Structure 1
Amino acid sequence: MSSWFGEGTTATCPYRHGARSIDRRQDPAVLGSANRLVCARPRRGRGVSPIWTHWATSSQLNSFRLPLHDAGTGLSGLPLGRVVRGTQFVFDPFDAYRAGIVTSPNVAVIGSIGAGKSTVVKMMVARGLERNRSAVILDPKGEYGMLAQARSGVVVRLGTSSWWNPFVESEGDNLNFLTALISTARGEHLSDIERATLEQAWRSGACSHSSRPMESLWRTCSGVDDAMAATVRRFVMGDLAGLIDGPGPALTNTAALVVLDMSQWWLSESLAVAALVGWNMASHRLADPTVPGYLVIDEAWALLQNEFATTWLQGAWKLARARGIANVAVVHRLLDADGAGELGSASRSRAVGLIRDCSTYFLFCHAEGDLGAVKETIGMSELEAQYLVALPRGSALVRYGTSSSVVHLEPTLEDLPLVDSDGAMR
C-alpha cells in the first residue's frame, strides 16, 4: 500500500511521515504486526520536518478510512489550504522535488468545471512569484488577466498585439518545430517528399534570418508546391496570421509573469496551432535553469488531442527537470485525451504518457462516468474513487509522489480577487 487511500491487506500497515508513505513490508523502521499498535520512526529530509503521524492499528485505519492525522507534505511556505484531519497543506513542485517527495516537477490539475482548478493554479503561481520565480500561462479563455495585473505581469495577445519568432535555434530544431506546426495546421502528417520540399524551401529562402520568416517561406513555396504554399499562407494573411509572422519587431518580454491570451482561437480548429506556438514561446522565456518557472497550459486538451503536437511536446516535457520548468497541465477530465487516438495507438500513448509523466495530481470532483479514464491513466484505489466523486467544490484529492491528501483550498484575502471566476454571475 503506497498511501493511506490504498486497499489494506493483512501484511500492510500504512503510516506517513510528512510526505512519505511507508510500507511495513519494505521499511524496517515500521515494527509490529498488522493488528498491533505500530509507528514509524521519523526521518529527516531536505524540506521535510520530522513529524510523528498516524498512530493507530491497521484494523482501525481500515475501519476509519482516514488517518487520525495527516501531516501533509511537511514543506514550509504559504499554504494552499488545509488537509482534512490534518495541518496546513503547503506545496511547491520545486521544493517537493528537492525534498525527494516527487520525482518530477510536472503537475496535472484535473476536474469538472467550477471545481477549483484555476483557483489552485493561480494560488500556486502567485506563491511562486513571491519567491522570485517566473511563469508563463497559456490562457485560451482570458481568465488570468487579473493575476497578471496584480503581480506586475503582462498580457500578450498573439495575433493581435504582437507575434512570436520561434526560429532562433539551430536549423535542425527550427525545422522540427516547423514540421510539427505545419502538420498541426494541416491535420495530417507530411510525406517524405513534402518534408523534403519544406526543408529545401526553408533553407533556400534563408527564412530563419528573415524579419518575416513565414512570408519568406510562402513566397519560396509558391510555384513549387501550391498545397504547401496555401498552408504557409495561413500564417501570413489567413486565420493564423500574427502568430509567428507579422509587421514590426517580434515579441521580446522579460516580465516574471507572462499571460498569453489566446481567447481569439478559443473553440476554433486553430487552437492547437496557437497553443503549440505559445508553448514554444513559454519554453524560450523560461529557458534559464537558474530561475525555476511554471509553464501552465490551461485547456491542455487542445494539445493532448493533437498527435502532431504531442509528438513534439513529448521530448520537451521530459526535459522539465533539466530546464527547471514545472509543466502544469489543466484539463476538465482525462477523457479529453481520448481524442488523441484509438486505445493502443501511438498518438494516444503519447498523450497519456504526458499525463503519466506528472508526479503530482490535483484531482477535483469527477463524474462517476469519468473514473474509468482516471484509473486507466494514473491508477486509483476504490477508496480514492469514492472520495473523488464526493469532493465538494474547492476540495481536491492531491496525489504527490507516493502520498495522498484530501485538501480544502483556503485562499487568502489577497488571493480572493485573483481566483474569483464567478464575478459575471453575480
Structure 2
Amino acid sequence: MELSFQDSTRTLGRLPLLASSPLPPTRLRPVGVSRLGGVFCFDPFELYQAGYLTSPNMLVLGEIGRGKSAFVKTLLVREAAPTTSILILDPKGEYAPAATSLGAKRLGLADGAGLDPFAGVGTSQRVLAGVLVGIFAVLYGRSPLPLEYQLLQEVTTQLIVEPGAITLAHLVDLVDRGPVGAHADREEGRLRREFRAQFTRLIDGDLAGVFAVDGQSVTLSERVVVDLRSLADPRLTAFAISCLLRARIAQFAKSELSPGFVVVDEAWSVLQHADAVREMRGLFKLARSYGASVVAVTHRISDLDSEAAELVKDVETRVIFRQAREEVTQLAVALGLSPMVGETLASLARGEALWSIGNHQFLVSHRLLEEECVLVDTDKAMRG
C-alpha cells in the first residue's frame, strides 16, 4: 500500500504552475509524483552519465518535520545497485532503522577504537596544520593566537619530518620535547605545558575514546552510519565530521570503495566551522572523479555563514521543502530562484518539495511505502 503525506493533492492544486519541464530521464529511485504528472525518479549517477547533471551533489533544505530526512532515507533505500557505498553522518542518531535496511554498519564514536584525526593527511604540511588548528579549536573553544599558531606550525613541521606514524601519542610527545636549559624560552615553555595538558584530554581525559591514540582507529566500511549523538559539543562534532570526510576522500582516492553516497545530516551544525567547510568543499569538488554524490541536509540558508552559503550555491540539485516566509527572499536570491517560485516555498505542505535541477524545476509530492514508515518515523518518542 502506498501512503502519501497529508493534503498533498489539495495543496499542490493551489500552487502556481511552473514552466513545464520533462521528467528527468531515469526510471531509477522513484521519489514521488510530479505536479505536472508522472512518477518523479531521481538517480544522480544515472543522470550524470546521461549528461542531465554536471554534478551529482545535492542540497536538501526545509523546516523541521517537513520530510527532509524521510526523503533522504527513502532515496538511499530505493537504490538500484546494492553495491553502492554509503556513508551517513548522523548527529541525531535517527538512521538506525535505515542502517538495518541498507545493511550498513553502525558506528558510535567514543565506544570503539576511536577516530583517527590524521586520516587522509598524507605528507601535506598544509592539511596537517589545519588538523592541528582544528584540534586546538575543539580544546580551547577559539582560534589560536599568534604565538600559539607559531608553536602549532613548529609542531606540524616536526610531525612531518620525523619518521613514524602521525598519532596523538606522537603529538603529545613532541609538545613535551621543547628547548631546555639556556635555549628555553619562558613563554614557549608555558605554552608547551598548556598544550600538553589540553592535548592529554584527548588521550585519558574527558574526551578520551573519541579519537585514536596510537593509530589503531576504526575503519569506515563500505556502508556505515556514524552515530554522533555522544559528541555534545558542536565544535567537536564539526571536527569529527571533517575527519570522517577526509578519511572517506582518502578511501575514494585509493579506489578502496565503490561509487556511492556521502550524507551529512544537520549540515547547518557543521558548516559554521572552517575545517568542516574545507573538507566539504574538497569532497564537493572531487565528487565527480570519485563517483560520489554528497547530500547535505540543513534547515535554511540563513543558518550558514557566507563561506558555507557560497559552497551550497555550487550544488546543482536543490530539494527544498517548506521554508518560513521570512526566509524566502534570502533563499531565492542565494539560489537564483524567481520571486514566484520563492513564494511557492512558503506554501508547501508536508512531504512536498520544489526540486531545482539546473534550469529544470519540479513540484513533487514525495510518497512513502507502508514498509518504509518505520524507517522514517522520528516521532516515536513523542507518542510514548
Q: Residue 80 of structure 1: CA displacement?
A: 0.9
Deviates more, 1:287-296 or 1:362-371: 287-296
Instruction: Using CA pairs under 8 Å that are at least 6 residues apart, name the structure with larger relative contact order, 1 or 2.
Output: 2
Aligned to 1:296: 263
Separation (CA, whole Å) in 1 of partners of 2:19 and 2:218: 53
Q: 1:377 to 1:87 in 2, by over 3 A?
A: same
Separation (CA, whole Å) in 2 of partners of 1:357 and 1:246: 37
CA RMSD, 1 decimal: 2.6
Aligned to 2:372: 415
From the two aligned structures, give the one with the greater helix fraction.
Answer: 2
Q: 2:109, 2:230 within 8 Å by CA — same for their partners in 1?
A: no
Q: Is 1:258 equivalent to 2:224 in the alignment? A: yes
1:108 is paired with a residue whose SS is strand
Separation (CA, whole Å) in 2 of partners of 1:377 and 1:74: 27
Q: Residue 414 of structure 1: CA displacement?
A: 3.5
Q: 1:189, 1:308 within 8 Å by CA — same for their partners in 2?
A: no
Q: Is 1:109 equivalent to 2:60 in the alignment? A: yes
Q: 1:285 to 1:159 in 2, by over 3 A?
A: farther
Aligned to 1:315: 282
Q: 1:184, 1:308 within 8 Å by CA — same for their partners in 2?
A: no
Separation (CA, whole Å) in 1 of partners of 2:334 and 2:133: 25
Deviates more, 1:219-228 or 1:404-413: 219-228
Aligned to 2:337: 380
- Corresponding pairs, count: 349
Q: Residue type of the partner of 1:209?
A: A
Calculate percent identity across the aligned residue pairs.
29
Q: Residue 308 of structure 1: CA displacement?
A: 3.5
Deviations for 1:347-393, whole angstroms, at most 9, x for unmatched residues?
Answer: x2x31222012110110001011123312321221111121001000
Separation (CA, whole Å) in 1 of partners of 2:43 and 2:137: 33
Q: 1:289 to 1:353 in 2, by over 3 A?
A: farther
Question: 2:124 pairs with 162, 172, 178, which one?
Answer: 172
Q: 1:232 to 1:376 in 2, by over 3 A?
A: farther
Q: Residue 244 of structure 1: CA displacement?
A: 2.8
2:51 is paired with a residue whose SS is coil
Deviations for 1:241-281, whole angstroms, at most 9, x for unmatched residues?
Answer: 32332479321243x42000010114544221222222223
Q: Residue 177 of structure 1: CA displacement?
A: 4.8
Separation (CA, whole Å) in 1 of partners of 2:193 and 2:332: 47
Q: Residue 327 of structure 1: CA displacement?
A: 1.1
Gaps of 5+ in 2: 1-14, 179-191
Q: Is 1:364 equivalent to 2:321 in the alignment? A: yes
Q: 1:70, 1:87 within 8 Å by CA — same for their partners in 2?
A: no
Q: 1:307 to 1:169 in 2, by over 3 A?
A: closer
Deviations for 1:92-141, whole angstroms, at most 9, x for unmatched residues?
Answer: 11122222222211100010001011011111212337442111000011
Aligned to 2:5: none
For residues 3-402 of structure 1, what are the structure 2 equivalents within 5 Å? 65-66=16-17, 71-128=22-79, 130-165=81-116, 166-167=118-119, 169-172=121-124, 175-185=128-138, 186=140, 187-189=142-144, 191=146, 193-203=150-160, 206=163, 209=165, 213-222=167-176, 224=178, 225-246=192-213, 249-254=216-221, 256-266=222-232, 268-287=234-253, 288=255, 291-337=258-304, 340=305, 348=306, 350-402=307-359
Q: 1:128, 1:134 within 8 Å by CA — same for their partners in 2?
A: no
Q: Residue type of the partner of 1:234?
A: R
2:369 is paired with a residue whose SS is coil
TM-score (norm 2): 0.82
Q: Residue 229 of structure 1: CA displacement?
A: 2.6
Q: Residue type of the partner of 2:175?
A: C
Q: 1:289 to 1:86 in 2, by over 3 A?
A: farther
Q: Residue 319 of structure 1: CA displacement?
A: 1.1
Separation (CA, whole Å) in 2 of partners of 1:151 and 1:197: 45
Separation (CA, whole Å) in 2 of partners of 1:376 and 1:238: 46
Q: Residue type of the partner of 2:239?
A: V
TM-score (norm 1): 0.75
Q: Residue 311 of structure 1: CA displacement?
A: 3.4
Gaps of 5+ in 1: 1-63, 341-347
Q: 2:29, 2:75 within 8 Å by CA — same for their partners in 1?
A: no
Q: Residue type of the partner of 1:181?
A: G
Q: 1:309 to 1:111 in 2, by over 3 A?
A: same
Deviations for 1:57-82, whole angstroms, at most 9, x for unmatched residues?
Answer: xxxxxxx9425965421311231111
Separation (CA, whole Å) in 1 of partners of 2:159 and 2:80: 39
